[in-house]
Amino acid sequence: MKRTAAAVSAAVLLFPLTACGGDAGAGDGSTVTVTVGYQSRTINTVTAGTLLRSLGYFEKQLDALGDGVTYKVVWQDYATGAPITAQMTAGKIDIGSMGDFPLLINAARGEQLGRPTRLVSVTGYNPRGGLNTIVTAPGSGLTSLKDLKGRKVSTSVGSAADGTLVRALQRAGIDPAEDIEKLNQQPAVGASALAAGSADALSQFVAWPGLLAHQGKAKALYDGARLDLPTFHGVAAREDFAKERPAVLEAFLKAQAQATDHLNDHPVTAAEKVAEITGLPAEVVYLYNGAHGIATFDPAIRPRLVSALKQDVSVLKSAKLTGDVDVDSFVDDRYVRRALGTAYAERLAATPPAAASEVWPKGSARTRTFGSPAGLLGHVAAHRDTVRAAYVPDATTGTPWFADKAVWVADGRKLLPFVTPETAREYVDGHGGARVVTYAEALERAS
């Protein structure tokens, strides 16, 4: 029989679940359904979800197997990692992508229910933790973490953003269990609570902080990169599926690598495609997924990311969301190593691109980089009507942020951007003569 690979839309969720995933090898003997769970709006998973699906690379890789089997790919879109884990442990999803904290819960639930899963690749990562941000309402008087004491803070318990909140508060001398009122809410609900004033702050993962800041609905209070602890999203696969269908899993990982290369080679085009599919502004997608964005994309499982995952276990245990998790057993890079061959070592040795100031001109498929934030400001000042978006790296953490949403400091002839007021204030306190200036004043100085 001639093999074909068909992508099935999210409408397949209306079909009986036994038609999707199920035990490895489910099908009628000549047809195998492969079910992939992903989060379209969690945009640093796009190389294993939104972008990958749109490019059709997985289906093409399956077509190339030549094993006489017809493969049907079912893509299921979710808002968070929790339902993906539930479906994986029920045997209904074969491959799923999610954040580091949800991955640990995935590992724990899989072992607990006798449906073990394995971390098989990474999607997007930030080596310092910049994928998570705490924001407040635009008119809020809160300017530091210490101001959160006694306040209501929305987050998604068990997410990486919750982990950032817990660690950040602890470093600030605030007990996250006693000194704040934590609201366990989905990102969209938390955003609404912040807008309504029923939450004083919101701690969330990509792309919510950047989206709300871009829309003028929030301002940054804490940059997760200040923790200097990696955060990442990755791909998990059911162990039984991986063992019975290793060639299929390797085809997925080859396709993920292709999607990664496409994103890195065509960052503006990729951002616009993801924006079109998700409804997110392309400027926000590029903030995270751009050439010098907050996320770096590569499927290699780096030792530093595994080390960070081990440190995350204690946070989940303290919240009573998991017990011990054997991270070394959960991480399995055999499939991605085989899928990528000699290129794997090269990817593993690669480093994130250097921080840079970028302008995205209107109507252009390319951005322009500048050697300094002041150089970018000078360009923006002279081309105000032709700039679609401008991005600058935080002077302390390197986290990219929108130039017009950054906190600017003038230090002599230098103009320095910061994601949050607190980091800007710390710089000013340590540098005599430095002072915070408005964005308009920064533009005027640069011009």
pLDDT in tens, 43-66: 999 999 999 999 999 999 999 999
pTM: 0.93
Mean pLDDT for the stretch of residues 403-423: 97
Write out pLDDT tens, residues 146-167. Answer: 999 999 999 999 999 999 999 9
CA distance to 97, 108, 109, 343, 404, per residue, from 322 (Å) = 19, 6, 8, 35, 41
What is the token pair recorded at 111?
A: 């072992």
| Residue 3 confidence class, pLDDT cut points 50, 70, 90 | very low
pLDDT at 182: 97
pLDDT at 21: 60
CA distance 50 to 126: 19
Mean pLDDT for the stretch of residues 400-412: 98
Q: 235 — phi, psi (to 5°)?
A: -115, 130
Asked if the model's pLDDT at residue 389 lies above 50, the reply is yes
Asked if the model's pLDDT at residue 9 lies above 50, the reply is no
Of the candidates 48, 35, 40, the one whose C-alpha atom is nearest the C-alpha of residue 298 is: 48
Asked if the model's pLDDT at residue 15 lies above 60, the reply is no
pLDDT at 132: 97
Q: How many other β-carbons are positioned within 10 Å of the β-carbon of residue 437?
A: 17
Whether the bond into 207 is cis, omega within 30 of 0: yes
Mean pLDDT for the stretch of residues 419-441: 97
Mean pLDDT for the stretch of residues 383-403: 97
Q: What is the DSSP string of 282-348?
A: HHHHHHHHSTT-S-EE-----HHHHHHHHHHHHHHHHTTS-----HHHHB--HHHHHHHTTHHHHHH
Query: Do 45 and 120 contact (CB within 8 A), yes or no?
Result: no
Mean pLDDT for the stretch of residues 69-75: 97
Q: To which H or E segment does residue 357 belong? A: strand 357-361
| Residue 30 confidence class, pLDDT cut points 50, 70, 90 | confident
Q: 21 — phi, psi (to 5°)?
A: 60, -110
- Tokens 């502004």 belong to 281
| Residue 398 confidence class, pLDDT cut points 50, 70, 90 | very high
pLDDT at 47: 98
CA distance 197 to 154: 11
pLDDT at 8: 40
CA distance 58 to 97: 15
Mean pLDDT for the stretch of residues 261-271: 98
Query: Do 78 and 106 contact (CB within 8 A), yes or no?
Result: no
pLDDT at 29: 58
Max distance between CA atoms of the chain, in angstroms, equals 77
Look at the chain and count its residues. 447
